[in-house]
């Protein structure tokens, strides 16, 4: 089995074939990032019928090539840039770095069966990830627009308007307003433009939510049965998690979300500190679920929180423990959903430690 590592860039890709048994470079090819050159790459690789592709950052610059190879029936692995950097650091060559060396490093990571993971065809979760990213951008744009509208209204109306501003409230506040100067007329025109922008953004957010709900229904997830998880949070969790099966256990998923504490131990001293790593968007989503459940007297999350408080834990510590517990529960639900959809028996689910 030959491993072909690929170092992708926006306009070019460099492939290097590696023999895992001898760790020897069998050849390299540089192509343009085009379908025509993809065909040339496949033709070059046919010399090795038994082959695996290891693409650095297959979710980024190598995404298009990875999906194209999958469509051709090739086996494709994703290798992180940090993994190739570690291999390059430990290799001979005086810290030299070029595209061919980077491609060979990606192949070495896959050959060692280290930090490489299989790349699969896109699914509903990829669509949810795209919609969630679009929703975040729309929400941020709406917030900036509302802030600009508030600033203009403060200059047009004494005392401004209430914080909870909507297009309807802004329109009502401007009704009957007579600008006294040319500058006020410009302010009024800009305020009307901003109101129209907010309405348009609200419509786009509503359409985005409808698409997410439709995809969640298609996916068949049971995340929304968990207290505090609505369509928006369910879409975010699924989109940013991808396949739950890529995490070996609930503990691995908790580490990925940054809800697992970081152990700092030396000799007889051992303590756990708050993790500042992991996917912060997922961490924020889990924090929101925890806060909602704590405010629900009948929820299982509130019972877990009260149990920690009864053990003498401070509220902040109890909240962190609840987030860790929720991360494990979310992983088990997503993992069970995947097993149910694929029809495989749930034999790989592990309990959280």
pLDDT digits (tens, 9 = 90+) for 232-263: 999 999 999 999 988 999 999 999 999 998 87
Last residue of a domain, one of 57, 88, 118: 118
Q: Which of 15-29, 229-243, 264-278 has the highest mean pLDDT?
A: 229-243
pLDDT at 11: 95
Asked if residue 266 belongs to a domain, the reply is yes
Q: Is the pLDDT of residue 45 over 50?
A: yes
The answer to whether 41 and 29 are in contact (CB under 8 A) is yes
- Are 157 and 91 contained in the same domain? no
Angle 38-42-43 from CA coordinates, rounded to 5°: 115
pLDDT at 343: 67
What residues form DSSP beta bridges with 237? none
Supply the pTM of this predicted model. 0.86
How many C-alpha atoms does 106 have within 13 Å on its Cβ side? Answer: 31
- Are 101 and 209 contained in the same domain? no
- Are 88 and 102 contained in the same domain? yes
Last residue of a domain, one of 64, 84, 118: 118
pLDDT at 274: 83
Q: Domain range holding 331?
A: 231-342
**Residues 227-231: what's their mean pLDDT?**
96
Percent of the chain exceeding pLDDT 70 equals: 95
- Are 105 and 202 contained in the same domain? no
- Are 70 and 103 contained in the same domain? yes
pLDDT digits (tens, 9 = 90+) for 95-128: 678 899 899 989 988 887 667 889 989 999 999 9
Q: Which residues contact 185 (CB under 8 A, 6 or more apart)?
A: 179
- Are 131 and 99 contained in the same domain? no
- Are 273 and 244 contained in the same domain? yes
pLDDT at 344: 59
pLDDT at 21: 85
Last residue of a domain, one of 101, 118, 135: 118
pLDDT at 92: 65
- Are 108 and 129 contained in the same domain? no
- Are 277 and 332 contained in the same domain? yes
- Are 194 and 252 contained in the same domain? no
């Amino acid at each position: 089995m030959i491993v072909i590592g690929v170092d992708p860039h926006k306009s070019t890709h460099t492939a290097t074939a590696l023999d895992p048994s001898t760790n020897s470079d069998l050849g390299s090819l540089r192509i343009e990032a085009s379908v025509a050159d993809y065909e040339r790459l496949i033709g070059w690789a046919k010399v090795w019928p038994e082959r695996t592709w290891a693409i650095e950052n297959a979710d980024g610059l190598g995404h298009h090539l990875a999906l194209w190879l999958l469509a051709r029936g090739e086996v494709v692995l994703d290798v992180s840039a940090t993994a190739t950097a570690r291999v390059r650091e430990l290799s001979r060559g005086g810290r030299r770095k070029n595209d061919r060396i980077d491609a060979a490093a990606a192949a070495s990571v896959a050959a060692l069966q280290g930090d490489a993971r299989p790349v699969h065809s896109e699914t509903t979760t990829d669509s949810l990830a795209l919609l969630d990213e679009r929703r975040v951008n729309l929400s941020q744009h709406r917030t900036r627009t509302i802030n600009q509208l508030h600033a203009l209204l403060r200059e047009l109306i004494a005392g401004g308007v209430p914080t909870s501003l909507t297009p309807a409230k802004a329109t009502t506040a401007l009704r009957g307003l007579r600008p006294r100067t040319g500058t006020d007329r410009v302010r009024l025109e800009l305020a009307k433009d901003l109101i129209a922008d907010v309405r348009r953004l609200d419509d786009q957010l509503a359409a985005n939510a409808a698409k997410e709900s439709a995809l969640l229904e298609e996916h068949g997830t049971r995340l929304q049965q968990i207290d505090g998880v609505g369509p928006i949070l369910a879409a975010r969790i699924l989109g940013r998690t991808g396949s739950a099966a890529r995490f070996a256990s609930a503990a691995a998923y908790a580490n990925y979300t940054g809800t697992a504490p970081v152990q700092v131990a030396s000799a007889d001293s051992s303590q756990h500190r708050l993790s500042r790593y992991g996917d912060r968007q997922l961490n924020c989503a889990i924090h929101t679920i925890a806060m909602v459940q704590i405010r629900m007297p009948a929820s299982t999350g509130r019972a877990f929180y009260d149990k920690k408080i009864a053990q003498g834990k401070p509220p902040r510590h109890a909240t962190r423990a609840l987030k860790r517990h929720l991360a494990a529960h979310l992983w088990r639900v997503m993992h069970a959903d995947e097993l149910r959809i694929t029809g495989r028996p749930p034999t790989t689910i592990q309990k959280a430690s």
